Each structure stands twice: as C-alpha cells, then as structure tokens.
Amino acid sequence: MSVKQISATARTQVGKGAARAVRREGKVPAVIYGAGKPPLSIALDAKEANKLVYAGHFLTTVFEIEVDGSKTRAIPRDYALDPVKDTVEHVDFLRVDAGSRLRVDVPVHAVNAATSVGVKRGGAVNIVTHSLSVLAPADKIPDSIDVDVAALDINDSVHVSQIKLPEGVSYAGQDDATLVSIVPPVGEEAAPAAEVAAEPAEAAKK
C-alpha cells in the first residue's frame, strides 16, 4: 500500500458558521487529531476530496497531508456526506506514527467465482461479511481480504479461521465470522456434482 500525497490549508476559524464559509469557497473542512497533539483544523479542495472518497478504499488509505509546508501522515477515520447532494462535507483524520498498528475495516472480496464448483451448479456467491475488522501496520493495510471460492460447492462457506491473512495483519474480532458462502438457486434444487462433471465429457462425444 502506497501513501498518497494531498495538500490542505490551515483553518483559523472553527464552528458551523466557519465550516459553511469554507464550503462556499469550494473546500471541505477537515481536522487532524491524535498522537497526543492538539487537533489541527484544515481545508481540503472539494473536488479532490470527493474524488478520493469515491475512488474507494478511502478509510484504509494513509495520506501524507501537506499544510503550509509541514507534512503530517494520517488516515481518514470518518467523513460526512451532504444528505441531498452526496458530496463530502467533512473529514476526520487520525495521525499515524511510524510503526503504529491500526484497527481498520477492510472490504471482503470473493475471487475465482467463475470457476466455483457451486456456481457451475447454479449456485450464487453470497458475501456474508462485507468488511472485516483487522489490526494492521499503518504502512501495510491491505486493500481487501480476498477469499478464494473456486473449491466451494453449494452450501459450503468460508470462515475467518480458514483464511490466511496478509503478513502482519490479524483479525480484530472475537467470533469465527462467516465470510463467504455459496447459496443454492432460488426455487430450484442443484444438480448433483457428478452430473456437472459429466457434462464436459458428454459434450466432447458430440
């Protein structure tokens, strides 16, 4: 995971009125806090802020924020959207010290669905846990937790204990959460696996 560079300007005024004034200037009010230092109120370019949020992985990306020539490494902890326009209205950043570990929610992705035994029999991939809470080094936060479903048949599932997390990353939850399962087709009974395996052989005879 690479650290992304962004620029911001310092804000001297805080509060709702000051935040509205910042937005009228085409900027997004934000704050950097944590690491035992006073909060730093900043303003981000609105177009850039919206682009970063909607590009994905925003809450698992470490940024190096330059403010008046000084750089601070931080990770977004929360952001607010306008309820009507869905544009970014505010961002909270947490300072990141070198060597620190962070608790983050990483999206879960199913891979090799096209070759899944259960999918070939008419089943569908069901992502049960859409994001997994993990502890990860600040400079090695994974973009996603990939779960290989190629070997899964209908009604099979994969739990946290069955996957290998990236190096240095550990599960932050308590239960053995179900990540992905293969569900049967609605209103139908799946054909036996032996029949599916026989289809290519029958096709080759024709």
Tens digits of residue pLDDT in 35-45: 889 999 999 99
> Which residues, at least 6 apart from 198, have a Cβ–Cβ distance to it below 8 Å?
none
What percent of the chain is predicted at pLDDT more than 90? 71
Mean pLDDT (the chain) is 88
Predicted local distance difference test score (pLDDT) of residue 139: 81
pLDDT surpassing 50 at residue 197: no
Characterize the bridge pairing of strands 88-95 and 27-34. parallel
Q: What is the pTM of this model?
A: 0.74
Per-residue confidence (pLDDT) for residue 189, from 0 to 100: 54
| Residues 6 or more apart in contact with residue 138 via CB below 8 angstroms | 62, 73, 75, 96, 97, 98, 99, 100, 101, 102
CB atoms within 10 A of CB 200: 8
Instruction: State the Cα–Cα distance between residues 183 and 180, nearest whole angstrom.
Output: 10
Band of the pLDDT at 108, cuts 50, 70, 90? very high
Residue 66 bridge partners (DSSP): 7, 71
What are 153-196's pLDDT values in tens digits? 999 999 999 999 999 999 999 899 999 999 998 865 545 544 44
| CA torsion through residues 53, 6, 35, 134, sign | positive
- Decide: 28 and 91 in contact? Cβ < 8 Å: yes
Q: Note the pLDDT tens digit of each residue in 46-91.
A: 999 999 999 988 999 999 999 988 999 999 999 999 999 999 999 9
pLDDT score recorded for residue 65: 96
